[in-house]
Structures are given as C-alpha cells and as structure tokens.
Chain A
C-alpha cells in the first residue's frame, strides 16, 4: 500500500512571484510515478516557472517541492532536465557529442573530466534519438529539430527516474515530433516519470496520459480523459479557445 502512495513529484502550496507579480499562485500538484504528464496553459501561465521551481532554479515565495519524498537537492541524480532550446547560444564552439556528455557532469562531480565511459553513454543516447551520425558535428550546423534531439540525448545520459522537459516539441517538424513522442512513451514504459511543457492542445490526448491545466493557478490535474474537458479548458484559457477536439 505504501508503494502505491509514493509520488514522483509532490508540489504543495507553491507560490512564485517576480517582483510583486505572482507568476504561480498556490500550486498543488501530485504526479504519480510512471506517468507521462503534459503541462498546458496560455502564454504567461507560468509553465516554465513551474518546471524551474521544481528544479530549484527559481526561489519560491512559499511552498514546497518533493521528489520521491525528498527535497530536490537530495534527488538531483534522479532528475533529468531539458531546458527550452532557445535558452542557449547554438553558436557556442563545441560539437554534438560534447553537449550530450554534459549530461554526465552532475554524476562526474567537480574537476573530473568525461572519459571513455561517458563517451560511450553519450553515443548510446545519440543512437536512441537517431543522431549517431552527428556526433562530431558543430552544434551551429544543426536544425531546430536536431538541436532538440541533442538536448533530449543529453537528458537521457543523465539516466534519471524523473524527467522535466520544457517545450521539447517547439519548432520541430512532424517526423521529429513523432520520434520524440515515441521516445517519451518508451521512457514511461520503462517506469520513468516524464513532465512536459506542451503547447499543442490537439495532441494532448494522443501523446499523454496525464495533464495539468495551468494558468497561474492550477485549474486541474489528473488523467487526461477526466481532466482534459471543455469546461476545464475554458477556465484555463478564459473562453478564448475556439477549437476543442472531441473524439
């Protein structure tokens, strides 16, 4: 019974403010292990901030985050992170393999350099995202979809239990999107918990089994079939939504 109650991520009463403006207000969120959860909401809803707050990258004004019952600082090794790809300078002088190996830096700790083993893990991850032929490619030569897959590979070599991904589908073509979805579902089938900031409402039901609707406050969260309802969506988007897919 105890095992069933364990939560992969448990957010309680989380409030984050930039200067005086609340970006997240009193958020509660329980994510059970082994689900593929999408966070959806309009621009400025605080989706990225929520991911960052879970990772301890922004300091909350109030509230608490636990990963498998412990604070994030104690659980870094089991959490993988995919930032928005627009947050880095892709003209940085380095190659694909080097970026992917950065996923091992946490496990390596201070000063120790990546070696043969890290290289092998990185190549393995590149194979999983179909980028093994690009290992020595300069990162400025990658397309948007390829950049995204490199970031995914970097998270894969972290070999985590929980993954937090900020808009992994942003600016990728249909083929890449399909490949990424397959990868996410494979992660879930291996018992990982994956949280994804997502923009395309039409694919939520196809891709994810859990959803959180967010607009500064949590509107709803839970299994897609119960939670992803027209009423909840209207509350989230304030009635401005014209099209809701109904199977």
Chain B
C-alpha cells in the first residue's frame, strides 16, 4: 500500500518530462564531448540555428506536428547548414568562423521568417511550433521519450563502435589520414551524430540555447577527469542532471521557459566544476600554489 501511495503522488506528466529531459541531457552531453575536444563548440550553435527553417518547412509541407517529422526536417536543415559551412571553408578563402556566422544567421533568419508566415496564416494547428525557439519541456510526451531513447541510443552506440577512429580523428587528424582513415567520412559521421543530438534537444531546450547543452556538460566533465571515456560518461551525467533539474524547476511555475532554465542549471555545474574540481579546479590551483610557496620558503631557510 505504501508503494502505491508514492506512485500516485508522483505526477505522471512530470515523470515523463523528467525522463525525457534526462535522456536529452545525457545524449547531448556525451556527444558534445567531441565538439568541445575538437574546438568546434560553435558548430553546435550553427547546427541548432540552421535547424529552425527545417522545422517550419516540414510543417508547411506536411501540415503535421508529429515530432518525428519535425525532427527529420530539423535534421536535414541542420545537416545542410553544416555541409554548407564545410564547403564554404573548402572552396573559398572565407575562414571557418566567418562561414559559421554567415550560415548560422542566414538559416536562422530564414527560419524566423517562415515561422512568422506560418503564424500569420492563422492555422490553428500551428500553435506550439514556437517552442522550438526557446524550448518547452512540458511538451515532451511519452512517445517522444521513445524517439529520444532510440535515436540517442543509436548515436551513442555508433560512438562506441567507432571509438578508436573518432578518438584518433579528434586527437591527430594528420596521423589518422596517413594511416588511411578517410577524414571526410569520419568528419561527416561525427557531424551527423552532433546533428542527431541537437535536433532531439530542440523541442525541450530550443534552437537559441541548444549548443549550451552540448558544450557545458563536456566542459564541466573535462575538469574532473583525464580519461576520454570517463569524460564522456561524466558529461552524460551532468547533462542529465541539468536536464532534470531544469525541467522540474520550469514546470513548478508557469511561463518559465525550459531551455534557459536547463542551461542555467548546466551553468551552475560548469561553475562548480571550474572552481572546485580536483586537479584542474581554481581552488586546487590556489592551494597548490600556496603549498609550493611555503615549501620554497622552508628550503630557503638554513
């Protein structure tokens, strides 16, 4: 009887939202590890902004708001955006950061225009599309959890299968190429994984802040460990923690957008890790410096 009571008291919607946010955080956190280590943190920003028109076009074409269709639209647009960035860098003399900026803002602007147009049509069905801007975790349904779980799971399994190749690509591209591993293919594989993580998170976190969900957990995790595998695991945990706490906090009051709340929770984790992590943390540095100075003084005295 005791057990039943506890179950009854636990809100079903909140449970779904919490599980969904945890899964999202874990997927984006673990895959974001590669983005951070490759110094491509901003690529996540470009992909998530570029995904926005994809959502609008998918809706315009199908008239459906089924998550899978919208996610597919977002993924295609995000992917095209990334491909465009890579081609601009390869074929022109425009540098990576400029290419990123151009593609990001063009796609995002186009997305905003399309979203406004859709709202003007007065189609009653369009309500809720704007959650993709700032995210609304409360809109996560049980069926979304399945989508997130399956796609996110596939992405993480792929990183395990190609663990060795991806690690080599991120650490030493030139050496990887000299051994005969195809850089372009691996690059596209890695980017596709990022695209999956991002479009899954769009609904809950929103296009504007999604890249923080890739970067923040990985940055925090790097503070605590020197092992790639452990870093990825910790990033997944931190991402899940931020997702859960953000989702719960934003659901306690109405009109708190979930995306910013989740990102603020992730920021707290990052701040704590930068300050207090063993070895790499600021506090640790300060103590070590102090100890060194004292030791030095002691040796100076005769």
When distances are taken between beta carbons in the complex, the residues of chain B under 8 Å from A81 are: 174-175, 178
- Pairwise interchain contact B165-A110, C-beta atoms closer than 8 A: yes
Shortest distance in angstroms between A122's beta carbon and chain B's nearest beta carbon? 14
**A76 interface residue per 8 A CB criterion:** yes
Q: Decide: A57 near B180, CB < 8 A? Known: A93-B225, A93-B231.
A: no
B161 at the interface (CB under 8 A from A): yes
Extra contacts, 13 of them, besides A92-B171, A102-B168 (Cβ < 8 A), are A55-B177, A57-B178, A79-B178, A83-B172, A88-B172, A89-B171, A92-B170, A93-B37, A93-B226, A99-B171, A114-B164, A138-B226, A140-B226
**What residues on A are CB-neighbors of B227 within 8 Å?**
93-95
B side interface size, CB within 8 A:
27
Contact B170 A76 (CB under 8 A): no
A57 and B174 contacting across the interface, CB-CB below 8 Å: yes
Closest chain B residue to A138 by CB distance?
Answer: B226
A88 near B164 with CB under 8 A, answer no
Asked whether A21 is an interface residue with its Cβ less than 8 Å from the other chain, the reply is no
Within 8 Å CB of A19, what residues of B? 93
A181 to chain B, nearest CB (A): 23
Q: Contact partner of A102 among B161, B175, B180, CB < 8 A?
A: B175
CA distance A87 to B105 in the complex (A): 31
Asked whether A105 lies within 8 Å of B179 as measured between CB atoms, the reply is: yes
Residues on A lying within 8 angstroms of B by beta carbon are 19, 52, 55-57, 73, 76, 79, 81, 83, 87-89, 92-95, 99, 102, 105-106, 108, 110-114, 138, 140, 154
Question: In chain B, residues 14-37, which have Cβ atoms closer than 8 Å to a Cβ of chain A?
Answer: 37
- Which residues in B have some Cβ–Cβ distance to A below 8 Å? 37, 39, 93, 161-165, 167-168, 170-172, 174-181, 222, 225-228, 231
Once the chains are docked, how many angstroms separate the CA of A76 from the CA of B231? 32
Nearest chain A CB to B292's CB is how many angstroms away? 16
Closest to B225 in A: A93
In the complex, which of the residues A79, A89, A93, A108 contacts B164, with contact meaning CB atoms closer than 8 Å? A108
Q: State the CA gap A111–B179 with chains docked (Å).
A: 14
CB distance from A16 to the nearest CB of B (A): 15
Do A76 and B162 have beta carbons less than 8 Å apart? no
Residues of B within 8 A of A73 (CB): 180
Complex CA distance for A39 and B175, rounded to whole angstroms: 20
27 residue pairs of the A-B complex, CB under 8 angstroms, read A57-B178, A76-B180, A79-B178, A81-B174, A81-B178, A83-B172, A83-B174, A87-B172, A89-B39, A89-B171, A92-B170, A92-B171, A93-B37, A93-B222, A95-B226, A95-B227, A99-B171, A102-B168, A102-B175, A105-B164, A105-B176, A105-B181, A108-B164, A111-B165, A112-B164, A113-B163, A114-B164
A108→B179 CA distance, assembly (Å): 10
The 6 closest A-B pairs by CB, nearest first: A106-B179, A81-B178, A138-B226, A55-B178, A88-B172, A83-B174
Known contacts A108-B164, A111-B164; A94/B172 CB under 8 A: no
Q: Which residues of A contact B172 (CB under 8 A)?
A: 83, 87-88, 102
